[in-house]
Amino acid sequence: MSIILSLETSCDESAAALVSDEKGKVSLIGNEIASQIDEHANWGGVVPEIASRRHLENLPFLIEEVFAKSKLQIQDIDAVAATVTPGLAGSLLVGSITARTLANLHQIPFLGIHHLEGHLSSIYLSENHPKPPFLVLLVSGGHTELIKVDIQHKYQRLGRSHDDAAGEAFDKVARLLGLPYPGGPAIQKTAKSGDPKKFFFPKGRVSKPEGGFYPYDFSFSGLKTAVSRQIEKIRSENKKIPIEDIAASFENVVAEVLVERSLQCALDQGLNSLVLVGGVAANVRLREMMLAKASENAIDIALAPMEFCTDNAAMIGAAALLRFSSKSQSSMELGVSARWPLEKSDLLYECNPPF
Ligand code: KG4
Ligand code: ZN
C-alpha cells in the first residue's frame, strides 16, 4: 500500500490531502481546503498576486492539519505530489516548491500532476467508476473540453471552447446580473425560482473555414453578449430585470449545449461511457439533464462526486496514486507552467522535464 501527500494551489483554493491505494482502490485518508473565494469576490475574480500570497500562508497549516487529523506523520508517506500545470504560475510555484522541498528532505519521490488529469481522476474518488475507453466532459472555470481516454493516461482532445470556458461564462453572466463571484453557485441558486424557457439564448457554434461547424466545439462568448443585450433591452424599457428567469434560461441553454454535444460525440465515437468532471459538473441542472438524456441513448454516465467537482487536493492525490502505481515519478528539476496540453502529460515523468 502507498500513501501520498498531495497539494493543490493552481488557482484560488489552497488544499492538501492524504490518499492511499488500499486493495487497488483510491482511498481518501484526509482532505483539507482553504478557500480564498471570499477575498477574491471583493474584486469580482481571482487576483493572482493575492492568490500566491494566501497559498504561502495557508499551505503549512493545511499540511499540519491533514496529518494531525489522520494521525499520520510525514515518515508514513511514500511520495509527495503537487499540481504543476496549468494554472497561475505564481500559485503553482508555492505548491510545487513545498512538495519538492518535503520530497527532498525526506528522500521520497515527487510527482508533478496535470490539473486536468486531477479533475479527471476525481471519478476514482467515487465507488463506481468506469474503466477506459470513455469520453470525458471536463467543464471548469478555465476549460471546456471533450477528451477521449482510450487507455489510462492516453488522451485525445475531440472538442473544446474557442473562447470562454463554461465556468467563465457562468462567472461573467453572474456579474451582469449583479450576482457574486463565483458565478456558478450563485446562478444555480437564483435560477431555482426562474423559468428556463422564458428567454431564448443562442447555442454558440464554431464555423469551419471550409464551411459547416465543428461538431464538438463550443463558443460561449456570444451567449454572454446575448444575455447582456437582453438586460440592456429590459433596462431601456424601464422594467425590472427578471434575474431569476435570465439565470434559469442561461443555465438551461449551457446545460443543453454541453449535454447535446457530448452525447453526440460519444455516439459518433462508439463510446458508451461518459464522465462529467470539473467545477461546472457541480451544476445540478447539468447533472440531471446529462443523466436523463444519456439514458435515452444507452450511455452510462459517471458523475464526479459533488464535493470533488471544484478544485481540491483529493483529486490530485488520486491522479498521483495512478501515476505512482505505474512506477512514475517526476524529476526534482520539473518546474511549473501556466499552460501545457493534457495529451503531453506523460512528459511530466521524464528524466529531462519539459519545463
Ligand atoms: O474546477 P474549478 O474549481 O476551477 C478551475 O479549474 O477552473 O471550477 C470553477 C468554476 C467557476 O467558474 C465556477 O463558477 C464554476 O466552476 N462552478 C459552477 C458551479 N460550481 C462551481 N458552475 C455552475 N454551477 C455550479 N453549481
Ligand atoms: Zn480546476
Q: Which ligand is nearest to the CA of 284?
A: 1
Query: What is the distance between the alpha carbons of residues 29 and 18, in angstroms, rounded to a whole number?
Result: 5
Residue 307, pLDDT score: 97
The secondary structure of 287-307 as a DSSP string is HHHHHHHHHHTT-EEEEPPGG
Which ligand is nearest to the Cα of residue 310, counting in written order? 1
Write down the pLDDT at residue 23: 79
- The ligand 1 atom nearest the CA atom of 141: 7
Q: For residue 313, give the nearest of 31, 89, 39, 70 by alpha carbon.
A: 31
The confidence score (pLDDT) of residue 36 equals: 85
- Which letter does DSSP use for residue 190 in this model? H
Q: What is the pLDDT along the chain (355 residues), one digit of tens a residue?
A: 999 999 999 998 999 999 999 877 999 999 999 988 888 888 878 889 999 999 999 999 999 999 999 999 999 999 999 999 999 999 999 999 999 999 999 999 999 999 999 999 999 999 889 999 999 999 999 999 999 999 999 999 999 999 999 999 999 999 999 999 999 999 999 999 999 999 999 999 999 999 999 999 999 999 999 999 999 999 999 999 999 999 999 999 999 999 999 999 999 999 999 999 999 999 999 999 999 999 999 999 999 999 999 999 999 999 999 999 999 999 999 999 999 999 999 999 999 999 9
**What are the chain's domains?**
3-122+311-349 (3.30.420.40), 128-303 (3.30.420.40)
The 10 Å Cβ neighbour count of residue 253 is: 21
Q: How far is the CA of 115 from the centre of ligand 2 (A)?
A: 6
3-state secondary structure of 317: helix
Identify the nearest ligand to the CA of 279 by its number. Answer: 1
* Strand intervals (E) in 119-221: 134-139, 144-149, 155-160
Cell representation of residue 233: 433591452
Distance CA 224, CA 176 (A): 9
Closest atom of ligand 1 to CA, residue 282: 26
| Ligand 1, pocket residues at CB < 6 Å | 11, 140-142, 167-168, 170-171, 182-185, 188, 278-280, 282-283, 310-311
For position 107, what pLDDT does the model report? 98
Give the residue, out of 175, 280, 283, 316, with the most ligand 1 atoms within 8 A of its beta carbon, to mutate for a pocket test: 280
- Rg over alpha carbons for the chain, rounded to the nearest Å, is 21
Q: Which residues contact 113 (CB under 8 A, 6 or more apart)?
A: 6, 81, 82, 83, 84, 316, 319, 320, 323, 348
Under DSSP, the state recorded for 104 is: H
Alpha-carbon span 165 to 155, nearest angstrom: 19
Predicted TM-score (pTM) of this structure: 0.97
